[in-house]
Structure 1
Amino acid sequence: MIRAVLLGLRAVVFDREAARRLYASGYYGKPLGIPKPRGSNFDAPLELGLLETLHLLERGMLEVYDEEGHRVSVEEVRRRAERFIPKFELLYKVYRDLRDRGYVVRSGLKYGSDFAVYERGPGLEHAPYLVHVMRVDEEIDPLEIVRAGRLSHSVRKAFILALTGPRDTPIRYLLLKWSKP
């Protein structure tokens, strides 16, 4: 079992061999100090975000400990994420769904979206999709859609709205394509 230490809003896998295995198994995390790794041949600890940490914990791929060496439960990681990540429940629901469908899901922050989504993985391709997560009953300003569409078009990515709600609300994915009038 791969062991990680929870440090603030991140979990770190310090065992470098375990870090390489975990990264190779689905491009989880980011090797510390390596901005754009080429494959899993790196020699560094692996930093995981709370969404990734929770996902891996729930799937039995990771054990998480605090700084004193005490085991951290799925519920504790979830509570921490809920406390510090706005709209965590919706984000995690979409993250988990996309991962379960076989996609590689990374932060989309640099593109102004929630997720950048890959079909194969970073370093193998550019992310073809940007995903923005919203509540199904949330209103959106049409100008925001235009801005997101123009940005995604300029970086050659498809813009997807993921609409959902709490618990059993299904996720609806809407692919928006930019077109010229």
Structure 2
Amino acid sequence: MKSLKTILFGTTAALGLGFFGTSALADTLYTVKSGDTLSKISNEFAGNNSLVQQIAKENNINDVNLIHVGQQLTIRTNGEVAPVQETQPAVEAAPTQEVQQEVAVQPEATTSYSGDSSSAKEWIAQKESGGSYTASNGYHVGRYQLDPNYLNGDYSAENQERVADKYVADRYGSWENAQSFWMSNGWY
């Protein structure tokens, strides 16, 4: 009799999922997308900003204003049903490796493109680190969020500028092309 109840319950539960779609209970793994903030994520899961501090605490985020594209966050919804977000993780490649990724990222309404190398370079620096040479997302470092291996232990502003210029020249040919790629993909 016990196995009949188990089969009946399991079949009913599976049937219910088939009719009502996919949902997750309690914890959901969320991949940060371009344009996301903790407030926006909290609103998506709770309909308000009530989860901001909880998300920050549970994901060891020291600055609630600093999250990064591709970062994985665990969102606890206290047993309430939360929609499962199917996301595509961010893909990064070495400078010599060509990687194509389909990501639907809408440029911000305030984004302007001037076609000038120095403005394109500054635009990327602001998007990647807010212009800070000491910024870090836990792995990538500096004004242009470079792989630490490219910097060879020299995190000086001069070396960051030199390495970023070489990386962009080798991979994109120009800062304008790098900015165009960033605007389409949310990273460069």
**Larger CA Rg, structure 1 vs 2:** 2
Normalised by the size of structure 2, how large is the TM-score?
0.23
Normalised by the size of structure 1, how large is the TM-score?
0.23
More relative contact order in 1 or in 2 (CA 8 Å, sep 6+)?
2
Name whichever structure is richer in strand by fraction.
1
Name whichever structure is richer in helix by fraction.
2
